[in-house]
Amino acid sequence: MWRKLFCSLVLTVVLPLAAWAAPLTTPYYSLDLPPDWVVVSGPVKLQDAVQVLLGQKDHKASALIIAGPAQPGEAEQAARANAQRLGGGKPVLRASGQWEFAFTQEGVTGLGLAREDPAAGLLLLLVVSGDLPRADFVYRMRGPHKTLLPVKPAKP
């Protein structure tokens, strides 16, 4: 009887959790993709950086993540360059040390952010577009460099 109870507990608790966990791991961070998200491209190594493009299966949202070596101050430069490239507003530095900017392209809203870990000499750039709440999982990154991991913006 206990065996049947244990098996049914495993089937009702563990299997739904397994459906959630599609792990993505790079040298800089790890991330669990929801079941309705896929890796479109990557991880691709560009020099010493790693680029990953993620897409929501219904094409409602996407996320581009680039992480790699950087010099101190490059987070601001990356945020400014990408905001300009995407036609966004001027990046704002948040108390968390994160540079953020919003943009709209062809009626699709987006949010970009850049963070750096000066001690480790690393930079993370994240650009999310489309239905932004669908991409909230990107703010649950894990990794050895805590100051590199993105913080969910208060509002886009």
Query: For the chain, first and last CA: distance in Å?
Result: 52
Per residue in 109-153, pLDDT tens? 999 999 999 889 999 999 999 988 888 999 999 999 988 899 888
Phi, then psi, of 31 in degrees rounded to 5: -155, 140
Global pTM value? 0.81
Whole-number Å distance between alpha carbons of 32 and 18: 11
What distance separates the 2 farthest-apart alpha carbons in the chain?
64
Give residue limits of the domains in the chain: 24-139
Do residues 90 and 120 lie in contact, with contact meaning Cβ atoms separated by under 8 Å?
no
Per residue in 30-60, pLDDT tens? 999 999 999 998 889 988 899 999 999 888 9
Q: 77 by DSSP, 3-state: which?
A: helix
Specify the CATH class of 24-139 in words. alpha beta
